[in-house]
Structure 1
Amino acid sequence: MSQARQSDSTKTSVKKTPAPPLSPPKHKTLLRLLSYLKPYWWALMLTVVGFAINAGTEIWIAKLLQYITDAINQNNQSKQDLFPFIIIALFFVRGVGSFLGNYYTALVSRNLVYELRVQVFNKLLRLPSSFYLANPAGTISSKLIFDVEQVTAASTDSLKTLLRDGLTVLALMGFLLYSNWRLTLILFLVLPPILWLIRIASRRYLKLSKGIQETMGDVSHITNEVIGGYQVVKNYGGQAYEAKRFDATSKKNLRQGMKVVVTNSINTPAVQLLMAIAMAVVVWLALRPAVIDNISAGEFISYIAAAGLLSKPVRSLTDVNQKLQKGIAAGESIFALIDEPEEEDTGKLNPALSGAIHLENVSLVYPDSTVALQNFNLDIRAGETVALVGRSGAGKSSLVNLLTRTLTTSSGKITMDGMPIEDITLESLRSQIAMVNQQVVLFNTTVFNNIAYGGLAQKTQAEVELAAKDAFAHDFIMKMPHGYQSEIGAEGLQLSGGQRQRLSIARALLKDAPILILDEATSALDNESEYFIQQALDNVMKNRTTLVIAHRLTTIESADRIAVMNGGQIVEIGTHSELMQKQGHYAQMYERDFE
């Protein structure tokens, strides 16, 4: 029966996988990223002030060389005695400016990561189940962890470089123009080829950055699979296969990363070479007597020093392009997730349900034309227990997904207590349906928090203990080191399969919902565990409408009715004895599977 569920899940993913959206223009992604910085305008202002101070000190370093040279030439001892103090003061001011700039850009950067990460996580909580079926867990977690961190490269990191080094370049260029505008104009001649190089490189950076993100998603996905399925990997000797798979994906990531390095390693030296050519021409001209006429030795050295100081900030401004394109690619990935359509809730009613369920001519057809349910009709009375049996792919799990509105019908209607299921709010509907699955989901927290989970968090200790007793879980819980406050580890792996299942049943009991769905709740358990769990299920099924996806014989036999499904329809329905007398589908299944 687990194969049935897998089949249904696979089809669900086929149904909901959206066509890949077109990437938005780069400038729109960048502007959207920068919009997150608006609340921190005051920090950005302090950043500008800090880096402006830093840029100003670059000019004074060049100017100081002029004063020192002229003082030496004039043998002015009084001025020379002041220079050590001026140097200390200059670098103190420079340090203050650098601190202001670096601190407040880091403040903005970390807050941006925090806000984006929280927004993405909250979005994940509101997305429909189909999104998770269509996207591997590793890819999703990579967006939350890797892509969000990369986004800072496009916003705050790039902004920091642009402000710090951009202001420095502007300050130095202003100083050079003031000192000798004719020589300085030569530096502007290399500007067009530099911009052309940056444009070519930016296209390649963006393409490569997207490739890096995709491969990081694959790396994360494989890692999650191996961690989650480590027992299967070990038991079936899959270490070599998984190592090979991980190595191949990691090499893809490595190749993409090295292509970025190669592009940057060519682009940056090329820009620096153009700057060096311009500087060489400037120096050559500066040494001509006609050009440096009426300029003191100190002014000449100051000019050359300022021109030399341009090299580092220009190189940094060239490198910022790589960060910018990397961040824009990450931003596109994150915003694509943020813009995913959320789970639609058309309901407006919040009724207290008794558990009467009516399905009339319900059909569910997937885009690939696979029919999960076809003209399905079933009337379940409040408090009745109905078991669903059938071969894998008969549509049992699809039916359950329709009742929780994980899926929507292609045609037909479903009502609960006479109300169309679409008119009931998702919160109200799901709060009144308890589920116990074969695959138990537990969290890395205490026993108490796992039973009183989510909307049940306000339940008292006494209510939790009563639910655990009815689920035959209280005794083993009390034997744990800290009782109900004992940590159970990731996915509850410190507990046995039967113990985990009993915690799941305790959670369902505590929910006290009028509708209960049991999806192979005792499958693959040892006899002792099955005995306790069957006793617990008898408790949880009392006075509730119960839908049982066929598992063990005892639950099926005691059901009020058994519906035999085949090809998305009910082919037989009745009690165990009635169906056995018919000697039809159910009798054949009983003899083949249960005896």
Structure 2
Amino acid sequence: MTSPTVALVRAEFGRGRARLAGAATLALTGAACAVAAPLLVAGAIGELAGGRSAWADLIIVAFVSVVGAVAGAGSSFLVTSVGELAVAGTRMELVRRALTTDLTTLRTAGTGEITSRIVGDAGQMRTYTDVLASGLPVSALSACAFTAVMIWLDWVLFVVVVSTFLVASLSMRTFLRSTRRAGLRQQAALGQVTQQFQSVMASVTTVKAFGAESTMLERIRSDVEEVAASGVRGALSQSCITPLAGVAQQVAVVGVLAVGGLRVSSGALSLAHFVAFLMYLFQLVGPLVTIAQSLGRIQLAHSAIERMDEVLRFPPEASGVAPASRAEPSDDEPALSFQDVRVQVNEHHVLRGVTLQVPRTGMVALVGPSGAGKTSILNVIEGFLPLTSGRITIHGHPIEAWSVAERRARVSLVEQRPTLLNVALRQNLTLGATTWGGGDESVWCALEKVNLREKVESLPHGLDTVVDEATGLSGGEMQRLAIARALLRDADIVLFDEPTSALDEENENATTRALQSLAAVKAVVVVAHRPSLIRNACTVYSVDRGRVVTRYDAGDGREKGCIRNP
């Protein structure tokens, strides 16, 4: 199976083919200079041995060396620039896939794990791109060129060199495998550290209030120690590669000196060629070490690629199909309709045959004990939970007929735990507001409805204040900001999950009035426990154990009929 990460890198290489072609040209120039230098030195030695001046040859050697160094630097820069673009493209695709996959998959993977793959594992791709685009090909080409010239100079000495490096390469293979295994363990442990730390920081006030800092520290410590231990094992394997190449070089030098001395004394090899051979031998070690290290880095990169591939293979949300007709339904069709809806998640029956209707305007309340399935009803409407059986319609169209984007354009959600992004208040409030024209009048109006205008005006930067931990917004204020955001969005159906749970009486009354005003023109569904919301609902459904057990009119408290589910 083709790796989606590798496919992304190849695509980026395709877009950067001009730079890579330039890098290849410069790399070949550098390699050619490296091959030519020892032969030029041999020529200079021949000139000196003949009693002639070698200044011209030495100047050429110096010029060739400088050209080779400049060409190598240029090649490295071009490859690095393409590599950075490949890493950026991979990271953006990882972010896109994380944002477009279904919630069940995201929660199973964990945000910390996904973050570590976007940040840490994607960073490993820089090594991968550098090695594949430049390091490995250039080193292999240089090694082949040096090998060819060495065979031409004296094949007997080359046999001596090959025999020593062959033994070293067999040993390197073991260390390369160990490097990859250590890399996989380290990246997995790093993901656990990220996951644990994000979890602790998200609940840092609770941790401090219960004096659990030491307990949380110990939970993270084991994963941190595993990251370190895996890194040490990988470093040990990686560190053995260069010494092995060095030992092979030393043994080869001793063998070449011994055999070469005999061949020079016998006249089978000239002194100039013997010096050139030694120079090539010393130059050969560099590419061979680079190749060995590159293979080790590729092993580490492959462990990161495997982890990124898991994210890139996350299943996307079911997109649905756009309805054939875009005409508005007639007024007598409900905004929402559930007919015997059942939802099962991991053998757990979340909803058990729910039947209900939400009119095109007005407020419908869902009441019941915690864990009864009220929030699950909202999550099914949003598409956060999969429908097992039954039928749901939005404005008369089956929910499957709406694409995810179209469905969510018509439905807005305010969660029980309000979430604000780490951006300016204006951007938070106009998130997804398709009808916002760019002016602030409607924003201030929405803030006034939830009794927050004075608070925002008092902030140092007003609507440009960036929401972060230092902003000092209370839980109730964040909840009202989330409600104001829903008021600004041009959605036909607005879902509220306990919108007044964190509010005092004054702000609860203001928010209730805002919801009443909204319900006059839109369909509003509220999960509620507060009497103020329940008595303002036109219809109340009582939910228990995943079933709607009672439907009644909250206005006069009279039961309008029971819905019994099998």
Label 1:434 to 1:287 Cα distance change in 2 as closer, same or farther (>3 A).
Answer: same
Give the 5 Å matches for 1:376-387: 376-387=354-365
1:157 correspondence with 2:131: yes
> What count of residue pairs does the alignment treat as equivalent?
555
Counterpart amino acid of residue 487 in structure 1: V
Q: CA deviation at 1:30?
A: 5.4
Query: Percent identity, aligned pairs only?
Result: 22
Q: Which moved more, 1:132-141 or 1:186-195?
A: 186-195
Partner of 2:250: 276
Taking only aligned residues, the RMSD between alpha carbons, in angstroms, comes to 2.7
Give the 5 Å matches for 1:436-585: 436-456=414-434, 458-489=437-468, 493-576=471-554
Between the aligned partners of 2:34 and 2:499, the Cα distance in structure 1 is: 72
Between the aligned partners of 1:70 and 1:152, the Cα distance in structure 2 is: 45
Partner of 2:309: 335
Counterpart amino acid of residue 325 in structure 1: Q
Q: Give the TM-score, by structure 2 length.
A: 0.90
1:48 correspondence with 2:37: no
Q: 1:356–1:382: 8 Å Cα contact kept in structure 2?
A: yes
Partner of 2:119: 145
Partner of 1:5: none
Q: Which moved more, 1:132-141 or 1:272-281?
A: 272-281
Between the aligned partners of 1:365 and 1:294, the Cα distance in structure 2 is: 85
Q: CA deviation at 1:177?
A: 1.4
Between the aligned partners of 2:135 and 2:150, the Cα distance in structure 1 is: 22
Label 1:416 to 1:305 Cα distance change in 2 as closer, same or farther (>3 A).
Answer: closer
Segments of 5+ residues of structure 2 without an aligned counterpart are: none
1:390 correspondence with 2:365: no
Among residues 103, 108, 118, which one is paired with 1:134 in the alignment? Answer: 108
What secondary structure does 2:338 align onto? strand
Give the 5 Å matches for 1:192-207: 192-207=166-181
Q: 1:389–1:563: 8 Å Cα contact kept in structure 2?
A: yes
Q: 2:264–2:271: 8 Å Cα contact kept in structure 1?
A: no
Q: 1:151–1:326: 8 Å Cα contact kept in structure 2?
A: no
Among residues 54, 74, 80, which one is paired with 1:79 in the alignment? Answer: 54
Q: 1:432–1:515: 8 Å Cα contact kept in structure 2?
A: yes
1:405 correspondence with 2:383: yes
Q: CA deviation at 1:157?
A: 2.9
1:242 correspondence with 2:221: no
What secondary structure does 1:454 align onto? coil
Among residues 26, 34, 43, which one is paired with 1:58 in the alignment? Answer: 34
Between the aligned partners of 2:395 and 2:102, the Cα distance in structure 1 is: 25
Q: Which moved more, 1:248-257 or 1:527-536?
A: 527-536
Between the aligned partners of 2:232 and 2:395, the Cα distance in structure 1 is: 63
Counterpart amino acid of residue 496 in structure 2: L
What secondary structure does 1:563 align onto? strand
Between the aligned partners of 2:115 and 2:328, the Cα distance in structure 1 is: 37
1:311 correspondence with 2:289: no
Label 1:473 to 1:542 Cα distance change in 2 as closer, same or farther (>3 A).
Answer: farther
Label 1:40 to 1:386 Cα distance change in 2 as closer, same or farther (>3 A).
Answer: same
Q: 1:384–1:544: 8 Å Cα contact kept in structure 2?
A: yes
Between the aligned partners of 2:327 and 2:478, the Cα distance in structure 1 is: 32
What secondary structure does 2:535 align onto? helix
Q: 2:362–2:522: 8 Å Cα contact kept in structure 1?
A: yes
What secondary structure does 1:288 align onto? helix
Q: CA deviation at 1:577?
A: 7.0
Q: Which moved more, 1:202-211 or 1:344-353?
A: 344-353
What secondary structure does 2:340 align onto? strand
Q: Which moved more, 1:353-362 or 1:245-254?
A: 353-362
Between the aligned partners of 1:329 and 1:185, the Cα distance in structure 2 is: 36
Label 1:297 to 1:184 Cα distance change in 2 as closer, same or farther (>3 A).
Answer: same
Counterpart amino acid of residue 27 in structure 2: F
Label 1:133 to 1:29 Cα distance change in 2 as closer, same or farther (>3 A).
Answer: closer
Label 1:271 to 1:99 Cα distance change in 2 as closer, same or farther (>3 A).
Answer: closer
Among residues 415, 434, 448, which one is paired with 2:393 in the alignment? Answer: 415
Among residues 187, 191, 199, which one is paired with 1:213 in the alignment? Answer: 187
Q: 2:183–2:300: 8 Å Cα contact kept in structure 1?
A: yes
Label 1:292 to 1:412 Cα distance change in 2 as closer, same or farther (>3 A).
Answer: farther
Q: CA deviation at 1:108?
A: 1.3
Deviations 1:171-209 (A, max 9, x none): 221221121122213323345544533443333222222
Q: Which moved more, 1:268-277 or 1:209-218?
A: 268-277
Q: CA deviation at 1:140?
A: 0.9
Deviations 1:309-336 (A, max 9, x none): 2222211211111110111121222222
Between the aligned partners of 1:29 and 1:111, the Cα distance in structure 2 is: 14
Give the 5 Å matches for 1:426-441: 426-441=404-419
Partner of 1:298: 272
Q: CA deviation at 1:352?
A: 4.6
Q: 1:445–1:488: 8 Å Cα contact kept in structure 2?
A: yes
Runs of 4+ with >6 A deviation = none
1:109 correspondence with 2:87: no
Between the aligned partners of 2:419 and 2:357, the Cα distance in structure 1 is: 30
Between the aligned partners of 2:273 and 2:60, the Cα distance in structure 1 is: 18
Q: CA deviation at 1:544?
A: 2.1
Between the aligned partners of 1:92 and 1:455, the Cα distance in structure 2 is: 60
Counterpart amino acid of residue 54 in structure 2: K
Between the aligned partners of 1:83 and 1:540, the Cα distance in structure 2 is: 89
Q: Give the TM-score, by structure 1 length.
A: 0.86
Asked which structure has the greater RCO (Cα within 8 Å, sep 6+), the reply is: 1
Label 1:501 to 1:367 Cα distance change in 2 as closer, same or farther (>3 A).
Answer: closer
Q: Which moved more, 1:480-489 or 1:397-406?
A: 480-489
Deviations 1:400-447 (A, max 9, x none): 111112222211111223321111222222111122222111122222
Deviations 1:356-379 (A, max 9, x none): 3221111112232x2111122112
Between the aligned partners of 2:101 and 2:107, the Cα distance in structure 1 is: 11
What secondary structure does 2:16 align onto? helix
Deviations 1:65-111 (A, max 9, x none): 434444444443x424x466335423320222112211111111111
Between the aligned partners of 2:127 and 2:433, the Cα distance in structure 1 is: 39
Deviations 1:104-133 (A, max 9, x none): 111111111111112222222221222222
Label 1:56 to 1:512 Cα distance change in 2 as closer, same or farther (>3 A).
Answer: closer
Between the aligned partners of 2:133 and 2:249, the Cα distance in structure 1 is: 23
